[in-house]
Amino acid sequence: MLSFLARRLIVAIPTLFVVVTVAFFMMRAAPGSPFSSDRKLPPEIEKNIEAKYGMDKPLMVQYVDYVGGVLHGDFGPSLKYRDKSVLDIIAQNYQVSLRIGLAAFVIMVIAGVNLGVIAALRQNGAADITVMSVAIVGICIPSFVTAPLLQLLFGSQLGWLPIGSWGGGAIPNMVMPVIVLATPQIAIISRLTRAGMIEALHSNYVRTARAKGLPEFTIVFKHAIRAAVLPLVSYLGPAFAGLMTGSLVVERIFGLPGLGKFFVNSALQRDYTVVMGMVIFFATLILLLNLLADVLYAVLDPRVRLT
């Protein structure tokens, strides 16, 4: 286990390094600067501003400075929002993405697993066929199609839910974004669970449990489901990270002040430090979640040994 963790960390460090390097030089290769605006600044003033942020130095020096800062936990100030540091901005905006993502995560796991189990127990029956057909449709409808359609139906036609905006995180404002995020995931999870469950129900130990005369409920929820949800664990790590990044579209459509929306705007405005900070933040998040999924997998399944 320890050597596994060590090896994963050895991969994680160059990964983060690649992330920082590529993102840094890509941003700098872009035409324009964070200080160019509609109102043309006198060249002396622009020089002064650049000097203040150390951007008059050669690019390599800036790069070394930046990496040095990051290693000390200093992501620098935002170049557009002068009074805020990058970490402030991430902390502020992340709450929105996190709350929606977590809500969607909980819903998709509960709904997906239950639907999958029901489908597997009634394999090839009406319930199974219904769930699986709906799941196929759910996988194929992208979020940027579901979202406007829901807005059209529940927002403007029926008027049940607000079309957009965050509203301080009020529940009605969260309903549609969460549904849009969770739907395709529910479909995928129910398919995975169904496949795992069918396999588990046909395995020898379930037959043994049946032979012992255990009640069906115990067989399904104590024995079979443990093996059935295993493939799910390795899926859920990346899926959770995907929820965080996937909320880009959802945040945009519903006008939510989350990180995704902020990221695109910052990139457009050449707010170098904010973009870099967010990329590093997401990369770290994805790495940690993947690692967590692997460790969890080994804990749940004693047959898996992490080496």
Partner 1 sequence: MTQISLAPGSMRNAALLERAVKGRSLWDDARRRLFRNRAAVASMIVLGLLVVCALIGPFVTPYAYDEINKNDVWLGPLTGDHLIGSDSLGRDLLARLFTGLGVSLAIGAVATTVSLVIGVAWGATAGYLGGMVDEVMMRIVDVLYSLPYIFFVIILMVTFGSNFILLFIAIGAVEWLTMARIVRGQTLSLKQKEFIEAARAAGLTRRAIIARHIVPNLLGPVVVYVTLTIPGVILAESFLSFLGLGVQPPMASLGTLISNGAQDMELAPWLLIFPSLTMVVTLMCFNFIGDGLRDAIDPKDR
Question: 186 Cβ partners below 8 Å, 6+ apart?
Answer: 107, 108, 111, 112, 115, 135, 138
Half-sphere exposure of 303 (CA within 13 A, CB side): 2
Which of 18, 30, 168 has the alpha carbon at shortest distance from 95? Answer: 168
Build a one-symbol-per-residue string for 2-31: x at contacts with partner 1 by CB under 8 A, - elsewhere: ---------xx-xx--xx--xx--xx-xxx
Stretch that binds partner 1, among 67-75, 79-87, 145-153, 292-300 (CB under 8 A): 145-153
Count the neighbouring beta carbons within 10 Å of the beta carbon of residue 287: 19
Options 87, 121, 139, 292; binder of partner 1; rule CB under 8 A: 139
Residues 6+ apart with CB under 8 A from 273: 75, 76, 77, 78, 79, 86
Give, as ranges, the residues between 72 and 101 that touch partner 1 (CB under 8 A): none
In a 10 Å sphere around its CB, with 0-12 CB exposed, 13-18 middle and 19+ buried, how is residue 236 labelled? Answer: buried
Residue 286 lies near partner 1 (rule: CB under 8 A): yes
Give the shortest CB-14-to-partner 1 separation in angstroms. 6
Options 69, 142, 167, 172; binder of partner 1; rule CB under 8 A: 142
Q: Select from 175, 300, 178 the least CA-distant residue to 237.
A: 300
The 221-260 site mask, x for binding partner 1 (CB under 8 A), equals --------------------x---x--xx--xx-------
> Which residues would be at the binding site for partner 1 (CB under 8 A)?
11-12, 14-15, 18-19, 22-23, 26-27, 29-31, 136-137, 139-142, 144-145, 147-149, 151-152, 156, 241, 245, 248-249, 252-253, 263-264, 267-268, 275, 278-279, 282-283, 286-287, 290
